[in-house]
Chains A and B, each alone.
Chain A
Amino acid sequence: MGASTPGGGKSANYELNLVPFIDLFSSLICFLLMTAAWQGLEVVNTGAPPKSVDMQEDTEPPPPPPSKPKVMLTVTLYTDRIDVGEDNDVTSFRHLNAANPDYQKLIATLADWKKKYPERHDLVLATENRAPYKHLIQLMDIFKEGEFPEVGITLN
């Protein structure tokens, strides 16, 4: 690097000192190698964000009871179908293919629920014991995309 002066007699051919760069890069590479996360795994959380015990013990006054009863939004996963329900009003969607289920109707239902109950972020997910784990994860993904991140999974 250097400035050339027209007609000047001095040479403008300077060399950049690369030794500090190498020192810096070496230190940076050592630090990043030590802190790199190699696993690349992530998690799907089942419901509300975790609370520490101290936070749970904070005694805040309980929220007032809602003026009208809360509608229970439920999704039930079976091996061959999905039932969605608002209280006792249950609709069944068949999987087109159990190995690769079609969730378009469920996505549409969640969008309807979001329009009807914009303040709601929770629903209850019940599952048949024989259903595969990957379908549960796919449903969790769909719920989070449909802005229902607080999913309660029934263990019965």
Chain B
Amino acid sequence: MADSGSKVEKIKKPGYHIRPKYDLHGLRRRRTDNSKGHISAELPLTAMIDLFSSLVIFLLMNFSATGDAFFMSRPGIVLPSAGKTISMESAPLISYQNGAFFLDALKPEGGQIRLEDRSDNLQNIVAALKSLQDEIKRKAPKEFNGQLNVQADENTQLLYIKRAMGAGTSAGWTSINFVVTPKGQ
């Protein structure tokens, strides 16, 4: 800006406009100037790579190409353990606990079936399984494989297991799988 008078002011280079309350002039100068005390901070990445490698190995061991199977755990149930097992696949699940049978299943259109049945012949569960089978066959007939998962406490009397199996087979779900924990876990 020039004054029309005798004095001519120089144009000033603008500095920092946004300043913290306590500006660290010295630090900024050392970081930006080409002086001897130049600060070149580097993040040590080796430890992070080590951590990532361990994490990747752990997750690869837990990898499942099919994802997590549908399962509803119930508190208080101790599953029996077995050595000769196969991986669990998503299927309707009949659970027995404290004198009641429960059916949990995923519907083909989305949504979930949750049902409790205390009757001896499990008529509600049989009806629900039949209706689910019809729905699956209507939507994708090839997807119905008749698999049914059964879970119960390891000390449950076999009478109740056989009731659950009977309900499944009478509704057309003939491939019964017992949910277990693999030995050694």
Residue positions of A touching B, CB distance < 8 A: 18, 21-22, 25-26, 28-29, 32-33, 35-54, 77, 127-134, 136-138, 140-141, 144-145, 153, 155
B178 touching A153, Cβ below 8 Å: no
Other 5 A-B pairs with CB < 8 A, given A41-B69, A44-B82, A153-B162: A18-B49, A35-B67, A42-B181, A44-B178, A46-B175
Contact of B86 among A38, A45, A128, A131 (CB under 8 A): A45
- With A44-B84, A45-B175, A133-B153 as contacts: A32 and B49 at CB distance below 8 Å: no
Which of the segments B2-10, B30-38, B55-63, B113-121 contacts the partner chain? B55-63
Q: List B contacts of A21 (CB < 8 A).
A: 49, 52
Cβ of B79 under 8 Å from chain A: yes
Cβ of B165 under 8 Å from chain A: yes
Q: Is the interface of B mostly helix, strand, loop or mixed?
A: mixed
Which of the segments B16-24, B104-112, B123-131, B143-151 contacts the partner chain? B143-151
Cα distance A37–B73 when bound, in Å? 14
Closest A residue to B89 using CB positions? A43
A54 touching B142, Cβ below 8 Å: yes
